[in-house]
Amino acid sequence: MKTITFYSYKGGVGRSLTLSNIAMRLADFGKKVCIIDFDLEAPGLHLKFGDYLDLSTINKGIVEYISDFQNNNYIPQSIKEHTVDISYNSKLNGSIEMLPAGNINSNDYWKKLSSINWNNLFYSDSSHGIELLLHLKELIKKELKPDFLLIDSRTGITDTSSIAMTLLADTVVTLAANNEENISGIARIIKSLKREENNLIGKLPNIHFVLTRIPYYPKPEDKYKELRLINKAKTIINEEEQLIEKVFVIHSDPELEEEEKFKINFSSKRKTRSTVPIEEDYLLLFGELTKDELTKKEIKKFEILKEVEYLIDESKNTNDSAIKIRKLNEALILNSESHEALILLANVLIELEQYKEALDKIDKAIFIKPESLVYQFDKAHCNFLLNRYKIAEKTCSEILEKDPKHYLSLHLLGDINLKNKKYEKALEFFLKLINIFPDIDSAYNAVSHTYRMLGDLDRAFEYIYKALDIHPQSEYSTTTLAEIYLEKGNMQEFYKNLQLSLSFGLKNKEFQRVINEETIYRKVYNDNKFHSILNNYRLKIEFPK
161 pLDDT higher than 70: no
Return all residues near 143 (Cβ < 8 A) that are at least 6 apart.
78, 79, 80
Average pLDDT over residues 519-531: 92
* H or E element in which residue 409 lies: helix 407-419
Question: What is the rounded average pLDDT for all residues in the chain?
Answer: 88
pLDDT > 90: percent of the chain: 53
pLDDT exceeds cutoff 90 at 170: no
The pLDDT confidence band at residue 268, using thresholds 50, 70 and 90, is very low
DSSP-based three-state secondary structure for 442: helix
Contacts 24+ apart (CB under 8 A), 339-347: 339/364, 339/365, 339/368, 339/369, 339/372, 339/375, 340/312, 341/308, 341/311, 341/312, 341/315, 342/368, 343/374, 343/375, 343/378, 344/312, 344/315, 344/316, 346/378, 346/382, 347/378
Confidence band for 257, pLDDT divided at 50, 70 and 90: low
Q: Nearest to residue 486, comparing CAs of 530, 517, 445, 446?
A: 530
Report how far Cα 540 is from the mean position of its chain's Cα atoms.
Answer: 42
202 pLDDT band, cuts 50/70/90, is low
* pLDDT above 70 (res 485): yes
Please, what is the end-to-end C-alpha distance for the chain in angstroms?
A: 73
pTM of the complete model: 0.71
For 425-476, how does the pLDDT look when each residue is reduced to its tens digit (9 = 90+)?
999 999 999 999 999 999 999 999 999 999 999 999 999 999 999 999 999 9
**Distance (Å, rounded) from C-alpha 377 to C-alpha 394?**
11
Mean pLDDT, range 281-305, rounded to an integer: 87
Give the pLDDT confidence score for residue 220 in this predicted structure.
Answer: 84
Q: Which residues pair with 150 in a beta bridge?
A: 4, 35
Residue 196 has pLDDT above 80, yes or no: no
pLDDT at residue 44 tops 90: no
**Residues 393, 398, 404, 406, CA torsion sign:** negative
| SS3 letters across 166-196 | HHCCCEEEEEEECCHHHHHHHHHHHHHHCCH
173 beta partners: 6, 208
Distance (Å, whole) CA 512 – CA 392: 23
Per residue in 87-101, pLDDT tens?
Answer: 887 767 789 999 999
Query: Which pLDDT score, from 0 to 100, does residue 273 have?
Result: 45
Q: How is the beta sheet containing 32-37 ordered, strand by strand?
A: 84-86, 95-99, 32-37, 148-152, 2-8, 171-177, 206-214, 247-251
Choose among 406, 343, 398: nearest CA to 375: 343
Confidence band (pLDDT; 50, 70, 90) for 118?
Answer: confident
- Top mean-pLDDT range of 149-153, 162-166, 339-343: 339-343
Region of residue 490 (left: phi > 0; alpha: psi -120 to 50; beta: else): beta
pLDDT reading at 274 higher than 60: no
Q: Identify the pLDDT of residue 269.
A: 47
Assess whether pLDDT exceeds 80 at residue 258. Answer: no
Per-residue model confidence as pLDDT tens digits over 399-426: 999 999 999 999 999 999 999 999 999 9
List, in order of start, the domains of the chain with CATH numbers: 2-294 (3.40.50.300), 295-404 (1.25.40.10), 441-545 (1.25.40.10)
DSSP state of 198: G
Using the predicted structure, report yes or no on whether residue 81 has a pLDDT greater than 50.
yes
Size of the chain in residues:
545
- Does residue 306 register a pLDDT over 70? yes
